[in-house]
Structure 1
Amino acid sequence: MSGPLKDCVLVVDDEFLIAETLSIQIQDMGLQVCGTAATAADAIAMAQAERPRLVLMDMRLKGKGDGVDAALAIHHTVGSKVIFITASREPATLERIHTDHPAAILYKPVLGGQLQTVVREVWASEAE
């Protein structure tokens, strides 16, 4: 892990409209979105290039690898905090998410107020 993290958020979701909606909600909070990614490989590459302080990570992604694969690699190489977003409440999915020590888990559909509360909490804890 080299260099400080940037005060920006990486949004990872394979559904364009969801990624756009999350990005707009983050920007409405006054935070900068450093990019969006739809695959685990793109998320890892973008995180390594941009070094975001926070990553919003969808569990299911296009291509090889899922959100946990991407989050583990990002934690290992960059050190960003990760908030998982998932539609699944299956025990196996949640167990897999917890292998990454997530900063938080949000369930779809994510309401704007929920997202803002959790992002603010994680952002504040990271600043300490």
Structure 2
Amino acid sequence: MSDLGNSILIVDDEFLIAQGLAAQVEDMGFTVCGTAATAADAVRLAREHRPMLVLMDMRLRGEGDGVDAALAIHETIGSKMIFITGSREPSTMARIQLDHPSAVLFKPISALKLRNTIRTALDMDTP
């Protein structure tokens, strides 16, 4: 789980949200290694690029959700996770905590909140 790259992977099934997050991340000086709308694509891109951080939406297209993808990515690559969700339902929050994320952000997300959360996550020591 070492030798992570210096890029960020964005996973969101809403194209415009993914593109908006990518623009904000790039404005912060980071490289976006890709965007994914499904859990399978997220895992594939993570294995290919080994990102240091993943911005992970909870609800995704197709089979699996953000937690399924995050657990697979965490187990095989070790990237840090910041979950992004529009839901504050206890069942959603409990499911997200299965992956022990660096942070959870609730939509809509301000640019400042995103910037501060990414910087905090990247300064944290890997458990």
Aligning the two structures, in what range does the TM-score lie when normalised by the shorter sequence?
over 0.9
Give the Å deviation of 1:126.
4.7
Give the Å deviation of 1:125.
1.8
Give the Å deviation of 1:76.
0.3
Q: Tell me the secondary structure at the aligned position of residue 100 of structure 2.
A: coil
> AA paired with 2:50?
R
Deviations, residues 59-79 of structure 1 (Å, cap 9, x unaligned): 000000000000000000000
TM-score (norm 2): 0.96
Q: Tell me the secondary structure at the aligned position of residue 52 of structure 2.
A: strand
Q: Tell me the secondary structure at the aligned position of residue 118 of structure 2.
A: helix
| Residue 28 (structure 2) pairs with residue 23 (structure 1) | no
Q: Tell me the secondary structure at the aligned position of residue 32 of structure 2.
A: strand
Structure 1 counterpart of 2:117: 118
> AA paired with 2:33?
C
- Pairs aligned (count): 126
Structure 2 counterpart of 1:9: 8
What does 1:1-128 align with in structure 2 at a 5 Å threshold?
1=1, 4-126=3-125
Distance of 1:110 and 1:37 partners within structure 2: 19
Give the Å deviation of 1:81.
0.2
Distance of 1:123 and 1:103 partners within structure 2: 9
Consecutive unaligned residues of structure 1, counting only runs of 5 or more, are: none
> AA paired with 2:104?
I
Q: Tell me the secondary structure at the aligned position of residue 83 of structure 1.
A: strand
Give the Å deviation of 1:123.
1.3
Give the Å deviation of 1:118.
0.2
Provide the aligned C-alpha RMSD in A: 1.1
Sequence identity, in percent?
Answer: 59
TM-score (norm 1): 0.96
> AA paired with 1:40?
A
Consecutive unaligned residues of structure 2, counting only runs of 5 or more, are: none
> AA paired with 1:102?
P
